[in-house]
């Protein structure tokens, strides 16, 4: 719906100063209704949340109150007293802050406004940063980490005292992460430093706007504080289709290789295409396969977070100049960078969430009143259904963004240290300030005290480190840092994005004597653990090339051109989203309702009808479990549709229970849609005779002791612990002068975890780790919801052979990694079988 | 987890599968708890205890858990009880830094005194603690020669046969069905032996790392990897680099 025409001219003239009116008139534009409404409500003193689709002029709307206010204020005469910054703009991406500076300078220049705009990111030179502190710009464009750094500085009070507005861009993507938690604490502090400050949040459509409205306003017990809301609906409805193909859609896998020909054809028929995939390895694979068939030499580029920055900037520039026909990209492009004229979005693989799909499709066509075009390419048959469900969801505007969640304790520890670095703090007033941030409104005084204790001395029951305390209580009851080194250490460790150690990938050539040369082109970065698994001579796909691993030199991974066509694909961590609860429900609905199968491609329809004949289709509100023998093993397949992470947790817990029941489970594998467990004993027979009863097996009490017992030996917790320990400041992310030595980290978080867990299992950092794991990696809440939903609705279908619906998950068996206990088992197997040539293995 | 849990819960009579090795004609037993027992000499060798590592970091502002010394000493106590040796040799980097042994809490000091009662104890000096130990039983020295064996902290490049050293924290990786497992190990080619690091918060360095270059004859090199309750012995050629 376009609201442009409904603005009374008189209102515009009251709100906007003459330079703005002239500028709009010269451009032949009119301010949009939401821009003016936002302006007038902010001028009325409210904090505001603006929800609008891409192309609705959100950015200008967000800055309008600042620009008008600064125009009315006029230039500060030289020689005046120090004036702090007027407006702080915070974006999740460095690139976005830089992009906005460009886009904002243009109208400000055209209108001749007396406004100084600068950006400040990790890349800003030290001299410029220093100057910004002495002579702040009017509008500062920056990132959450920089805000934390500025706030931890002794000059923060002066720097922010004149702050009027904080503009928070892409707020929906910020608030659900630990970066959002850190930023919410920063916002609470800004409110202390500049009590009249107003927040303006800019967001794409979200499931629950009130979450964000509260986030923008100070929370106090017994009060219902929240920002005002303006929602811009509409834009033209996107045209989305699922790629039709004559090829056979595979049962399992994620490569979508079958559809490459069709994708290539679609690129050829459009001017500029954005190709989204879910993971970096998928991006590499799709890019390579497109070039294999690129007979017309279409300019097709690759863009993902691991590539060298220089290469990424080149791709972005070429895209902005419309020199490219297609870019294969991962989520690095999800956010609102301006990408020139994209005609079409092709989404390879299922989108995993309806909101995510809507945001990605929004990339095509930045003009709000023209429809976006998008094609979904499912990679396997379950994804066909998921795509269809997402498509239906997008049409009805469904939203499944995750909730904001409770603020993390490791982030809180970082913030507390930062506040001590800024100035000595009174614990009670800091507590009051912290709990005014929505994510931390839940925080008890007792937990806050434990965090302060942790920051001071590590918070150990054995009070061994009092004499080394980082912060100390003064006789007046204030906490202050013990020495200047503490502040330096804080500055080096600020932030919540913890990367696993990365190695530069550098291309080298063999010289005439066969030795490796030096200094070829840098291709990007790859996780150290991946490289550690390679032996010289192994090939892998990176930066769109097949590379041969040559070796590691210092912190670089040396590679040469590989000539094999069948590379090992980098198995990067990250980038894989689990299926959203909402979409899972839609897939269940679709499966259960044969009348909706008509919209699906023939081969998928045939597959489902075969399933109906040979077994049954799971009903929407029931849990279908099939059991069948295969080879010398017995399988159970559980169609839970709760996403890979929740299934993995369920698999861990069920195998424990099956083990106790004497059914000898051997392993399990989880996909987004189902979970397969295999065992030595006849599972079907056991369930039929009620030993154990399925209702008992799936009882919610598995989330009690079984979960606790499993967590205690799970390696997942170690990975989570490492992140928490770095964010909380227990382990340094970087050391002064040793930044490049990710490989030489002097302490191993795994070992620290083991020691801490065996000696102080209720330590606050272990509590933070468990909180993190249960919401993140383990999706325990989601599993709990499912267990209570399926109570009394479990259907067991014993079969004498594998069912059609079970084929995809069965194909995944053998690809999964084992962890924890199974490692020792495999070690034994390795030592006993594979390496039978072992020397003496005598008894003691 | 394995060594810590093990040492706290199931000792000392839990039978463990160790590996028998020979270095320069002297028989040794590699214990999965990380110690090397030489039965003919009645000597137990451990290396790189890195005691008081937590507090060494705390002094520099990183408040690592103060429990590492206790955990390491418990395992040491367990392995000493199992073999009841006449002599204990600790091969250097006994403490994480120079002041570690002087500042060590009384509780830990008395644990070591109890373990050392009725035995000889030799502290070989390491690069982390070159000045020797303070107020602890036993003698500090840079190296020790005994019955054809040389005990020192850092392996010497041109050492004669029979060197038992530490310093490098050797570890090894095996691959099995596309899974990778990395463990600390005793590394020996029959001429020299390098001990795994004994301290609970000490990391490992892969046997294929360039720091290990030139130390072993790869034809006869075997990694005796520390498993939960046994040693897994794997030839160098079958390890992953």
Q: What is the DSSP letter of B111?
A: H
Q: Is residue A748 part of a domain?
A: yes
Interface of B with A in 24-43 (CB under 8 A): 29
Same domain, A167 and A305: no
- pLDDT band of residue A507 (cuts 50, 70, 90) is confident
Secondary structure (DSSP) of A549-564: EEEEETTEEEEEE---
Same domain, A269 and A364: yes
Please report, for the domain that includes residue A67, its CATH number: 3.40.50.300
CA atoms in the 13 A half-sphere facing the CB of A367:
5
Residue A357's Cβ-count burial label (10 Å; 0-12, 13-18, 19+) is buried
> How many domains does chain A divide into?
5
Same domain, A154 and A250: no
Least confident of A537-541, B142-146, B226-230: A537-541
Least confident of A496-505, A655-664, A692-701: A496-505
- For A224-246, what is the mean pLDDT? 84
Which span out of A345-359, A424-438, A670-684 was modeled with the highest average pLDDT? A424-438
CA distance A301 to A375: 19
Residues of B in contact with A826 (CB under 8 A): 176-177, 179, 181
Laid out side by side, the sheet with A87-90 consists of A117-120, A139-142, A87-90, A165-168, A198-203, A48-51, A228-231
Q: Give the residue from A593, A582, A580 showing the smallest Cα distance to A620.
A: A593
Which span out of A261-275, A311-325, B175-189 was modeled with the highest average pLDDT? A261-275
B118 touching A (Cβ < 8 Å): no
Is residue A287 within 8 A of residue A300, CB to CB? The reply is yes
Identify any residues that bridge with B232 across adjacent strands, giving them in sequence order: B225
Q: Give the residue from A143, A174, A175, A147 showing the smallest Cα distance to A160.
A: A147
pLDDT at B180: 64
Share of residues in chain B with pLDDT > 70 (%): 91
CA distance A315 to A790: 49
pLDDT at B8: 56
B219 touching A (Cβ < 8 Å): no
Query: What stretches of A705-833 adopt beta strand conformation (E)?
Result: 794-798
Same domain, A97 and A220: yes
Decide: helix, strand or coil at residue A628. strand
B176 touching A (Cβ < 8 Å): yes
- pLDDT band of residue A777 (cuts 50, 70, 90) is low
- For chain B, helix, strand, coil in percent to 5 are 20, 30, 45
Question: Which of A736, A823, A828, A837 to mutate: most B Cβ within 10 Å?
Answer: A823
Identify any residues that bridge with A344 across adjacent strands, giving them in sequence order: A273, A373
Residue in A closest to B188 by C-alpha: A839
- For A410-431, what is the mean pLDDT? 97
- The answer to whether the CB atoms of B66 and A460 lie below 8 A apart is yes
Residue A193 in this model has a pLDDT that exceeds 70:
yes
Q: Is residue A100 part of a domain?
A: yes
pLDDT at A382: 86
pLDDT at A417: 97
Interface of B with A in 134-173 (CB under 8 A): 173
Full domain range(s) for residue B158 = 2-238
Please report, for the domain that includes residue A693, its CATH number: 3.30.780.10
The H or E element that residue A490 is part of is: helix A484-493
Q: What is the pLDDT of residues A369-399, one digit of tens each?
A: 667 788 989 888 888 888 888 777 665 556 6
B19 touching A (Cβ < 8 Å): yes
Closest approach of chain A CAs to the CA of B54, in angstroms? 9
Residues of A in contact with B53 (CB under 8 A): 747
CA distance B88 to A651: 47
Same domain, A246 and A297: yes
Question: Which of A752, A819, A832 to mutate: most B Cβ within 10 Å?
Answer: A752
Residues of B in contact with A470 (CB under 8 A): 61, 63
pTM: 0.80
Full domain range(s) for residue A677 = 615-698+790-820
Mean of the per-residue pLDDT values of chain A: 82
pLDDT at B131: 92
Residue in B closest to A829 by C-alpha: B176
Same domain, A66 and A177: yes
- For A145-164, what is the mean pLDDT? 95
B231 touching A (Cβ < 8 Å): yes
Placement of tokens 């502002």 in the chain? B61
Same domain, A531 and A462: no
- The answer to whether the CB atoms of B62 and A752 lie below 8 A apart is no
Q: What is the 3-state secondary structure (H, E, C) of B131-199?
A: CCCCCCCCEEECEEEECCEEEECCCCCCCCCCEEECCCCEEEEEEECCEEEEEEEEEECCCEEECCCCC
> Beta strand A228-231 with B179-188: parallel, antiparallel or unpaired?
unpaired
Q: Is residue A281 part of a domain?
A: yes
Residue A357 in this model has a pLDDT that exceeds 50:
yes
- For B153-181, what is the mean pLDDT? 85
CA distance A329 to A306: 11
- pLDDT band of residue A820 (cuts 50, 70, 90) is very low
- For A772-796, what is the mean pLDDT? 86
Higher per-residue pLDDT: A489 or A735 = A489
> How many domains does chain B divide into?
1
CA distance A340 to A331: 17
Same domain, A261 and A366: yes
Same domain, A99 and A220: yes
Q: What is the pLDDT of residues A663-708, one digit of tens each?
A: 988 878 888 889 999 888 999 999 999 999 999 999 999 888 888 7
Q: Is residue A150 part of a domain?
A: yes
A195 Cβ partners below 8 Å, 6+ apart?
none
Closest approach of chain A CAs to the CA of B62, in angstroms? 6
Q: Is residue A831 part of a domain?
A: no
- The answer to whether the CB atoms of B203 and A464 lie below 8 A apart is no
Q: Is residue A664 part of a domain?
A: yes
Question: Which of A472, A528, A743, A830 to mutate: most B Cβ within 10 Å?
Answer: A830
Same domain, A528 and A676: no
Closest approach of chain B CAs to the CA of A37, in angstroms? 51
- For A22-32, what is the mean pLDDT? 89
CA distance A596 to A587: 11
Question: Which of A747, A749, A760, A762 to mutate: most B Cβ within 10 Å?
Answer: A747
Q: What is the pLDDT of residues A576-605, one digit of tens each?
A: 566 777 788 888 888 998 888 888 888 888
Residue B5 in this model has a pLDDT that exceeds 90:
no
Q: Is residue A833 part of a domain?
A: no
Residue A44 in this model has a pLDDT that exceeds 60:
yes
Laid out side by side, the sheet with A794-798 consists of A665-670, A675-679, A633-639, A623-630, A794-798
Name the residue among A752, A818, A826 with its Cβ closest to that of B64.
Answer: A752
Q: What is the DSSP letter of B30?
A: E
Name the residue among A760, A826, A839 with its Cβ closest to that of B179.
Answer: A826
Decide: helix, strand or coil at residue A760. coil
Q: What is the pLDDT of residues A364-375, one digit of tens each?
A: 655 556 677 889
pLDDT at A564: 60
Tokens of A25: 């008139």
| CA dihedral for B164, B168, B169, B170, sign (positive or negative) | negative
Query: Cα A558 from chain centroid?
Result: 30
Higher per-residue pLDDT: A138 or A394 = A138
Closest approach of chain B CAs to the CA of A536, in angstroms? 8
């Amino acid at each position: 719906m376009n609201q442009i025409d409904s603005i009374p001219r008189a209102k515009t003239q009251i709100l906007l100063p003459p330079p703005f009116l002239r500028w709009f008139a010269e451009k032949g534009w009119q301010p949009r209704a939401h821009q003016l409404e936002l302006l007038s409500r902010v001028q009325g003193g409210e904090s505001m949340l603006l929800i609008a689709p891409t192309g609705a002029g959100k950015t200008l709307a967000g800055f309008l109150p600042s620009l008008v206010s600064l125009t009315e204020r006029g230039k500060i005469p030289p020689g005046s007293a120090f004036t702090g910054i007027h407006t702080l703009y915070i974006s999740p991406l460095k690139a976005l802050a830089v992009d906005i500076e460009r886009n904002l300078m243009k109208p400000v220049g055209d209108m001749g406004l007396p406004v100084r705009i600068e950006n400040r990111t990790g890349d800003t030179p030290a001299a410029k940063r220093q100057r910004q502190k002495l002579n702040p710009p009017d509008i500062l464009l920056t990132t959450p980490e920089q805000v934390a750094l500025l706030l931890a500085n002794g000059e923060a009070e002066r720097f922010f005292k004149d702050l009027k507005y904080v503009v928070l861009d892409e707020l929906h993507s910020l608030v659900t992460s630990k970066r959002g938690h850190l930023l919410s604490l920063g916002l609470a502090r800004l409110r202390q430093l500049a009590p009249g400050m107003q927040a303006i949040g800019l967001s794409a459509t979200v499931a629950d706007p009130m979450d964000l409205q509260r986030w923008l306003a100070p929370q106090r017990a017994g009060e219902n504080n929240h920002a005002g809301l303006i929602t811009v609906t509409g834009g033209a409805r996107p045209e989305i289709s699922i790629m039709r193909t004559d090829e056979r859609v595979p049962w399992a896998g994620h490569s979508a290789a079958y559809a490459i020909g069709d994708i290539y054809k679609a690129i050829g028929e459009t001017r500029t295409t954005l190709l989204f995939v879910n993971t970096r390895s998928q991006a590499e694979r799709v890019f390579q396969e497109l070039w294999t068939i690129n007979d017309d030499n279409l300019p097709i580029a690759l863009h993902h977070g691991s590539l060298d920055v220089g290469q990424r900037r080149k791709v972005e520039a070429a895209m902005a100049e419309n020199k490219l026909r297609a870019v294969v990209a991962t989520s690095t492009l999800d956010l609102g960078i301006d990408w020139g004229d994209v005609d079409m979005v092709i989404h390879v693989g299922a989108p995993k969430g309806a909101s995510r799909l809507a945001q990605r499709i929004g990339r095509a066509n930045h003009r709000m009143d023209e429809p976006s075009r998008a094609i979904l390419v499912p990679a396997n048959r379950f994804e066909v259904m998921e795509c269809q469900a997402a498509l239906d969801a997008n049409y009805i505007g469904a939203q499944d963004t995750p909730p904001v969640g409770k603020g993390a304790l490791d982030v809180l520890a970082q913030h507390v240290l930062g506040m001590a670095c800024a100035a000595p703090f009174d614990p009670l007033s800091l507590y009051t300030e912290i709990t005014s941030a929505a994510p931390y409104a839940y925080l008890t005084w007792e937990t806050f005290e434990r965090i302060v204790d942790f920051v001071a001395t590590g918070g150990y029951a054995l009070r061994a480190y009092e004499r080394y305390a980082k912060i100390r209580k003064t006789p007046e009851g204030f906490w202050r840092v013990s020495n200047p080194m503490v502040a330096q250490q804080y500055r080096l460790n600020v932030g919540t994005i913890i990367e696993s150690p990365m190695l530069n990938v550098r291309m080298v050539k063999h010289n005439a004597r066969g030795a490796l040369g030096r200094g070829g082109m840098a291709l990007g970065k790859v996780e150290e653990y991946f490289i550690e698994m390679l032996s010289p001579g192994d090939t892998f796909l990176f930066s769109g090339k097949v590379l041969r691993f040559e070796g590691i030199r210092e912190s670089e991974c040396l590679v040469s051109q590989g000539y094999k066509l069948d590379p090992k694909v980098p198995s990067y961590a990250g980038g894989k989203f689990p299926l959203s609860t909402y979409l899972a429900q839609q897939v269940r609905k679709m499966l259960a309702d044969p009348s909706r199968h008509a919209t699906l491609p023939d081969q998928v329809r045939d597959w489902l009808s075969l399933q109906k004949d040979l077994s049954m289709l799971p009903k929407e509100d029931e849990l279908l479990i099939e059991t069948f023998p295969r080879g010398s093993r017995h399988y159970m397949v559980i169609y839970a549709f709760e996403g890979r992470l929740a299934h993995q947790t369920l698999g861990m817990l069920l195998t424990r229970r099956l083990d106790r029941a004497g059914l000898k489970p051997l392993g399990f594998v989880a996909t987004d849609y189902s979970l397969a467990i295999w065992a030595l004993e006849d599972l079907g027979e056991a369930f039929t005779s009620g030993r154990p009863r399925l209702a008992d097996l799936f009882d919610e009490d598995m989330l009690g002791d079984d979960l606790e017992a499993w967590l205690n030996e799970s390696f997942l917790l170690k990975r989570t612990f490492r992140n928490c320990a770095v964010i909380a400041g227990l382990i340094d992310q970087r050391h002064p002068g040793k930044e490049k030595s990710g490989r030489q980290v002097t302490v191993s978080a795994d070992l620290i975890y083991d020691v801490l867990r065996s000696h102080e299992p209720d330590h606050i950092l272990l509590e933070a780790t468990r909180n993190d794991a249960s919401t993140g990696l383990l999706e325990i809440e989601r599993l709990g919801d499912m267990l209570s939903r399926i109570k009394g609705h479990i259907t067991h279908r014993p079969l004498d052979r594998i069912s059609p619906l079970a084929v995809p998950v069965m194909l995944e068996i053998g690809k999964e990694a084992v962890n924890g206990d199974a490692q020792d088992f495999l070690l034994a197997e390795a030592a006993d079988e594979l390496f039978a040539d072992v020397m003496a293995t005598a008894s003691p | 987890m394995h060594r810590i849990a093990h040492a706290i819960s199931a000792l000392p009579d839990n039978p463990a599968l160790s590996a028998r090795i020979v270095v320069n004609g002297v028989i040794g037993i590699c214990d999965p708890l990380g110690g090397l027992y030489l039965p003919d000499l009645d000597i137990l060798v451990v290396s790189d205890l890195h005691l008081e590592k937590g507090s060494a970091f705390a002094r520099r502002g990183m408040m690592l858990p103060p429990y590492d010394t206790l955990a390491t000493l418990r395992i040491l106590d367990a392995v000493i009880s199992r073999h009841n040796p006449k002599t204990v040799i600790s091969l250097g980097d006994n403490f994480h830094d120079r002041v570690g042994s002087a500042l060590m809490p009384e509780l830990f000091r008395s644990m070591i005194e109890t373990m050392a009662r009725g035995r000889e104890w030799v502290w070989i000096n390491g690069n982390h603690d070159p000045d020797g130990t303070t107020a602890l039983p036993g003698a500090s020295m840079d190296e020790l020669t005994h019955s054809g064996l040389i005990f020192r902290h850092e392996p010497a490049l041109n050492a004669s046969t029979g060197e038992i050293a530490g310093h490098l924290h050797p570890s090894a990786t095996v691959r099995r069905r596309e899974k990778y497992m990395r463990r600390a190990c005793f590394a020996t080619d029959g001429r020299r032996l390098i001990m795994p690091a004994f301290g609970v918060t000490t990391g490992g360095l892969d046997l294929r790392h360039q720091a290990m270059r030139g130390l072993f004859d790869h034809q006869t090199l075997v990694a005796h990897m520390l498993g939960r309750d046994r040693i897994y012995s794997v030839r160098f050629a079958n390890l992953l680099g």
